[in-house]
């Protein structure tokens, strides 16, 4: 597992982690001018992978969208006949969602410690949220296990420590981190942002907390390639060289080399609560 850091203003250096994460995502979602179209979920790679497992659930099954963001997934799956609750750490985001989407369920809360009873949900999905707490994924996974019913499915994604990153990270820090100088150190204050995991590390984290891991696979090949070209090879986004590189490399480079995220499907099999 590899830590990732982001630049922060000086005044945020000592802010409590929960408050920092909430403020970060509140600002992120407030910069979105309009709510995303729920119909776009049907074409998402995550949905295509999880759909066969959702088809095993009866209509009306209860599902938690942990870290629901702007609510597209909550809306889409509710429209598919499931009873979905969107949960997010950003209170202002939840207030906004309730205002514009009054016919759907949204709740403010922390995925590490929810107020749901044991064995509440038939399924739980969370995209890119478990990795944002510095003490690791354990609290998120244990809480997911607690609130899932026996046999319930967990669908979750985290950043992928792919082979491109592994080879890059083997080099000296100053050779790939532009914010770091061997004499001056880091030019600006940094704060923990997220964890990156390999396939076996992600499987291990889930299995250690009682889940039967059904699948772990890299996803997001195009996004991973786009990020590598810009951040590591320093191509200007959407420049001619960037577009040519994407066109040449995307069809041939394996997702395990360049994928942006890892997606896991796991199942709660223990009957104890």
Q: Which DSSP string do the residues of 97-109 spell out, in sequence order?
A: HHHH-TTSEEEE-
Which whole-number Å values give the CA distances from 59 to 1, 40, 245, 266, in the listed order?
38, 21, 44, 20
Q: What is the mean pLDDT of the segment spanning 130-138?
A: 95
Average pLDDT value over all residues in the chain: 92
Residue reference for tokens 């950003």? 90
272: confidence class by pLDDT, cuts 50, 70, 90 = very low
Q: What is the mean pLDDT of the segment spanning 36-59?
A: 92
pLDDT for residue 39 = 85
Q: Please give the share of the chain, as a percent, with pLDDT higher than 90.
A: 78
The string of pLDDT tens digits covering residues 140-172 is: 999 999 999 999 999 999 999 999 999 999 999
> Of 9-18, 37-46, 123-132, 229-238, where does mean pLDDT reach its minimum?
9-18
15: confidence class by pLDDT, cuts 50, 70, 90 = confident
8-state DSSP, 113: B
pLDDT for residue 270 = 67
The string of pLDDT tens digits covering residues 57-91 is: 998 999 999 999 999 999 999 999 999 999 999 99
The string of pLDDT tens digits covering residues 164-208 is: 999 999 999 998 888 899 998 988 889 999 999 999 999 999 999
pLDDT for residue 233 = 87
pLDDT for residue 222 = 94
Do residues 22 and 87 make contact, with C-beta atoms less than 8 angstroms apart?
no
The answer to whether the Cα torsion of 245, 248, 250, 256 is positive or negative is negative
Distance CA 245, CA 235 (A): 9
Burial label for 43, CB within 10 Å (0-12, 13-18, 19+), is: exposed
Residue 190: partners with Cβ closer than 8 Å, 6 or more residues away? 5, 6, 7, 8, 179
Distance CA 147, CA 62 (A): 11
> Of 116-120, 182-186, 240-244, 269-273, where does mean pLDDT reach its minimum?
269-273
Q: Please give the share of the chain, as a percent, with pLDDT higher than 70.
A: 96
**What SS3 class is residue 251?**
coil
């Amino acid at each position: 597992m590899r830590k990732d850091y982001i630049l922060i203003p000086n005044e945020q250096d000592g802010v409590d982690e929960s408050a920092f994460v909430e403020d970060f995502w509140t600002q992120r979602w407030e910069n979105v001018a309009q709510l995303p179209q729920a119909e776009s979920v049907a074409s998402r790679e995550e949905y295509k992978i999880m759909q066969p497992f959702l088809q095993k659930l009866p209509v009306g099954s209860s599902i938690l969208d942990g870290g629901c963001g702007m609510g597209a997934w909550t809306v889409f799956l509710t429209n598919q006949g499931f009873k979905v609750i969107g949960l997010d750490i950003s209170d202002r985001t939840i207030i906004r969602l309730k205002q514009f989407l009054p016919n759907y369920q949204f709740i403010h809360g922390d995925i590490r410690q929810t107020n749901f009873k044991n064995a509440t949900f038939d399924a739980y999905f969370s995209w890119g949220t478990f990795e944002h707490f510095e003490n690791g994924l354990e609290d998120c996974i244990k809480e997911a296990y607690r609130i899932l019913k026996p046999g319930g499915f967990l669908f979750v994604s985290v950043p992928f420590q792919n082979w491109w990153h592994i080879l890059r990270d083997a080099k000296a820090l100053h050779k790939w981190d532009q914010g770091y100088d061997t004499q001056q150190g880091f030019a600006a204050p940094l704060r923990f942002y997220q964890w990156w995991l390999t396939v076996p590390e992600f499987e291990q984290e889930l299995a250690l907390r009682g889940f039967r891991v059904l699948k772990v696979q890299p996803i997001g090949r195009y996004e991973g390639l786009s990020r590598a070209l810009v951040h590591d090879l320093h191509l200007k986004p959407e420049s001619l060289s960037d577009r040519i590189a994407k066109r040449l490399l995307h069809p041939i480079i394996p997702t395990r080399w360049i994928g942006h995220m890892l997606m896991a499907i796991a199942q709660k099999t223990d009957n104890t609560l």
